Structure formats: C-alpha cells, structure tokens
Structure 1
C-alpha cells in the first residue's frame, strides 16, 4: 500500500538542516575514532549499532512490516548506502574534514543526473553546467600537481577518488529513497541501510587490523558515530519524502560550514584559498543544477 504524507516542503527543509548538523557531528567522531581504529571497523560499528536503533524504532512505531514491500529496491538502497559509507569514512580518516565533506557533497549534482534517468525527472542545461562547476570545484580542492604544479599542497588523488566515488554511491542511494517513498515507510527504508551495511562490513572489517576500542572510543562509536548517524538518517529520509530529490540535497550543504568549524576547533585544520574557491564552486554548481 502506498505511503502518503502531509509534510510541507518547509518541514522537509527543517529535517534536512537537522540532518546536516548531526552528520557533521558524526564526521567529527569518525575522524577522532579513525586516529587509531581502521575505517572499516568504524563502518561495522556504525552499521551494527544503528541496526539495533532502527529495529527498536520500527517496533515502537508499531509498523505491520519489518522488511517492507519492495525488497529488491530496498536492498539496492542498502547496498549503495553501504558503499557510500565505506568510501566516506575512509576519506574522513585520510583527508582534512572540510575537504572530505565538500567532495562528498558533490552528490546533489549526481542526484539530479541520476534522478533524471531513474525517476524520469527533467535534466536541464543548468544541471549539466552545475555538474561541471562542481567537478571543477573538486579539482580546486584536490589541487593536482599536473594542474597546479608545486604552488599548492595537493591532496592524495586516490583518497580524492574514493571520496568522489562515495558521492556517486550516496547520490544513487538518495534517488532510491525518493523512489521508495511511494511504497515504504521512512523507518523501513532507514532499517535496510544498516541491515545491509552490517552484513557487508563484517567480512571486510575482518580483513583489517582489528583494534579493541578504548572506553572513549566506544563512546565515540556508539553515541557519536552511530547515534548522530541514526538521527541524521531519519531526518534525511523524512526530508526526502517532502522535497524533490535534487533540490532537497542543496540544504544539506550546511554540513560544509559545520565541518569547517569543527575542523578548525578539533583538529586545527585551516582552509586555503583554493579550497574556499573549490567549495564555492561545488555549492554554486549544485544550486545551478537545481535552479527552478
């Protein structure tokens, strides 16, 4: 049976702003935990704990189904979400917080493009121009030596590539969330993400050099990473039920601002002019791509 909602676009935007804030806190906790723990171990902890959170929330909501109606699409959403999470967490442990966040948040441009194919939403010249501007912004942030020479410190191209791949996977997952609103409850959609991610990260985490977390790291993993991520995931799902896929994601760019502040306060990271210019290009490209 289709799921309907009477949420207004304004309430959807409020949910998206909240998601950006809690995701930024999650990123801080990932980077702190990643100073010693392998990123894939953090993915496993995040997925496993939020799986429990999601199950409890579904039972408290009294839903008549745990596994939903369109299981194939729900599994795909989970797989792309898991891939995006793996890439993003790895990038967070290897790149400056703000830079990793900006690169990951090229995903709204990819949302618009993928939605045009999957959901048959119109793709305009502004969306194409926006995609080009955002990718140029990534070049400014990464500062490859074959373009900039030695005039600016370059980011590792492998880490940048992983971050960009994560953005594409995240965009695909968000488009699937938008499609699933027609048949699934938001909590069921949220549940499939940690379900697939916990199963997928178990073997991959086992191949890393596992570390037993300290008390502080357990707090970071359970409360910081998993807790903040669960709140953000619910908020983004509710927001995407009320606002068009590509346009909705522009609001979450507030996470870039939060990330810059946290990076300075917690890690002493500063942002050079090239990164600022790149960030502005990414944000401008996304707004152009979602121009009314």
Structure 2
C-alpha cells in the first residue's frame, strides 16, 4: 500500500476546520473507511482486534523487561535507549513501505510535536512508575487513561460529557485508591513500608503513573485532532525523536547514566526498543481496522498478564483490595468505551437512514 493512499481529502483542509472523528471512526488513517459496512470490513475488524491483542501482549513483555532491569538502570535511561532504537526502526520502516516524508506536512508540525511530547512524557512517567510500584498496580493506574480521554475530548474536541462519564470517573478514582492504598487513609491490613523513603517512592510512583495516564489521554486526543492527514508511522517517528530528547533532559537532570554491566542488560535495553516500536505499530494498524470501543477490550489482556508476571516473576501477590480496585477500573473504562462506541454507531446509522 503506497503512502498516497493514506492522504485523504481532509489533508487539504486547514487544521482548524478538521472533521472530528468519533469512537466508531478509526483514530488513524485507513483506506477502507468508505466500506465500513461490508463483509471485508468485518474481517478487517477481526484482524484489527487481533493486532490490539498483540499490542497488549507486547506492552506486557515490555513492562516486564523494564521491571527486570529498573532496579539498576535508571528509568529515563531505559526510555532514552528504547526510543532511539524505536526511531531507527521506524525510519527504516518508513523507507521500506514508501512513506516519502516521515515528518509529515509542514502545517501539522505543531500538532505532531504536541503528540510526540505527550507520548514522551507518558513513556517517561509510566517507565518510572513501573520501577517503583508492583507491576500489576502500575499497569492498572496507566489504564485510567480512557477517563482522562473522555474529559479532554469534551474540553478540546467539544464532545459530550454525560452523567455516566462522571460516574465512571468517580468509580475509577475509588478503584485507584483501592489499588494504591495511600497511607493517609490508614487501610487496616496495609503492611508498613520498610522506611519512609520507600513510602515516598511508592507515592511518587503512583503520581507518576497518574500523570502518565493523563499524557496517554493527550496522545489519543491529539491523534484524533490530527485525524487522517498522515501515515501512522509519522506519528511514531515524532514519538521516538521527542521521547529521546525529553529522556536526555530528564536523565541528566534528576538521574545519572549507568553503564550496563552484562550482555543481559544490553539485550534487554535493545528488546525494550524493539517491543516499543512493535507495540506502537500494532496499535496504529489495529486502530485503523477496529473501532476504538471493541479495541479497548483487548487491553484487558495487558492487565491480566501484568498481574500474572508480577506473581510468577516478582512474587508480587495482590491483596483483595488491589484485585477489587483493578476490576473496578478495568470494568468501568471498558464499559465507558463500549457505551461511547455504541452511541456513535447509533448516531451514524440514524444519519445514514435519513440520507
């Protein structure tokens, strides 16, 4: 498929007059938008859901690797090396598939930069959260992003924000409290931290994870703002380059460079970059083929694998409150995505019938 097939008529519009997509529309450019109701598209959606499952699996392995070396290699150093690897792989892929301009049209430089910056901050904060929290807890906190996406979409894209969304936000807040169990609430069976510094690091890791979830929401909203004007690989290029620059600043500002001491550590850093690139490609193509609502359900795979890896590899056994909180967050955000998708699907069908 050539790059020109992704250049839809919206590319000729001014950015301020873009056509907003909804949850039924793919978030990224696709060549089969006009055939959304045919049998081929149904098969494409099945492929898209499979790709989103692969995305969740890739992210799970990625998080596992970060946790494995995060006790010795600084988190911002991990994000720096992985993003450099991702950038190289993405530029090679752009050349291979025929994306002639991996930096996109000049009029979108601003929004592509904002998208890359939000992705960079999301990656840096979530990587840090992974090194400070149990793997399952950190993954669940990052899963809060659909709530923040709904709020930001209401502010930036003027999408409706109903009472249902507000209730979901409150439930997710309650779920987050159950997962993180902040010390000032004095949960009865909460184990005492080994030191006050451990408690501070856990709190900082929790805050970092929430900031990461907010940045993921910015990623989705700015991707929808950009719309169908660029190939998804262009967005990945910006993500890799800007994350590399941001990671350099954060690394030498608040952390220190640590030289890897073994072949294992070098290999893990390389594989984190490969997995980061793969997950972005799976997500990009998956969102092209599958509506965002059903696709979000595939992310449940990531939460399940995170808790499984936490138990089997790191012996991090979640208590009942953590399981309950994770269930509330995962269930609420999935229900929110499905409701939004079904509502937009009904609206589209009404428009089609009236025309």
Q: TM-score, normalised to structure 1's length?
A: 0.93
Aligned match for 2:270, one of 222, 227, 230: 222
Equivalent in the alignment of 2:99: 63
Aligned match for 2:324, one of 277, 281, 291: 277
Q: CA deviation at 1:247?
A: 5.8
C-alpha deviations, 1:80-135, integer Å up to 9, x for none? 00111111010100100000000111112222222233333333322221121111
Aligned match for 2:167, one of 129, 146, 151: 129
Q: CA deviation at 1:253?
A: 2.6
C-alpha deviations, 1:178-231, integer Å up to 9, x for none? 3334101011111110011112212322332211112111100102x1111111
User: Which segments of 5 or more consecutive residues in structure 2 lack a partner in the other structure?
Assistant: 1-6, 9-28, 33-40, 193-198, 343-355
> 1:240 and 1:123 mapped to 2: Cα distance?
23
> 1:10 and 1:179 mapped to 2: Cα distance?
26
Aligned match for 1:5, one of 31, 34, 42: 31
Which of 12-21 and 99-108 deviates more?
12-21
Equivalent in the alignment of 1:99: 137
User: Which segments of 5 or more consecutive residues in structure 1 lack a partner in the other structure?
Assistant: none
Task: Give 3-state SS (helix, strand or coil) of 1:65's partner.
Answer: coil
**Contact (CA 8 Å) 1:84, 1:165: kept in 2 or not?**
yes
Equivalent in the alignment of 2:352: none
Task: Give 3-state SS (helix, strand or coil) of 1:267's partner.
Answer: coil
Aligned match for 1:82, one of 95, 102, 120: 120
> 1:120 and 1:241 mapped to 2: Cα distance?
23
> 1:27 and 1:41 mapped to 2: Cα distance?
15
**Contact (CA 8 Å) 1:108, 1:246: kept in 2 or not?**
no
Equivalent in the alignment of 1:254: 301
> 2:224 and 2:189 mapped to 1: Cα distance?
43
- Structure having the higher Rg: 2
Is structure 2 residue 204 aligned with structure 1 residue 158? yes
Q: TM-score, normalised to structure 2's length?
A: 0.77
**Contact (CA 8 Å) 2:75, 2:131: kept in 1 or not?**
yes
**Contact (CA 8 Å) 1:130, 1:284: kept in 2 or not?**
no
CA 1:47–1:60: 2 relative to 1, 3 Å: same
Equivalent in the alignment of 2:64: 28
> 1:143 and 1:77 mapped to 2: Cα distance?
32
Task: Give 3-state SS (helix, strand or coil) of 2:308's partner.
Answer: helix
**Contact (CA 8 Å) 1:250, 1:286: kept in 2 or not?**
no
**Contact (CA 8 Å) 2:172, 2:329: kept in 1 or not?**
yes
> 2:287 and 2:143 mapped to 1: Cα distance?
16
Aligned match for 1:174, one of 220, 225, 249: 220
CA RMSD after TM alignment: 1.9
Which of 147-156 and 132-141 deviates more?
147-156
Which of 56-65 and 242-251 deviates more?
242-251
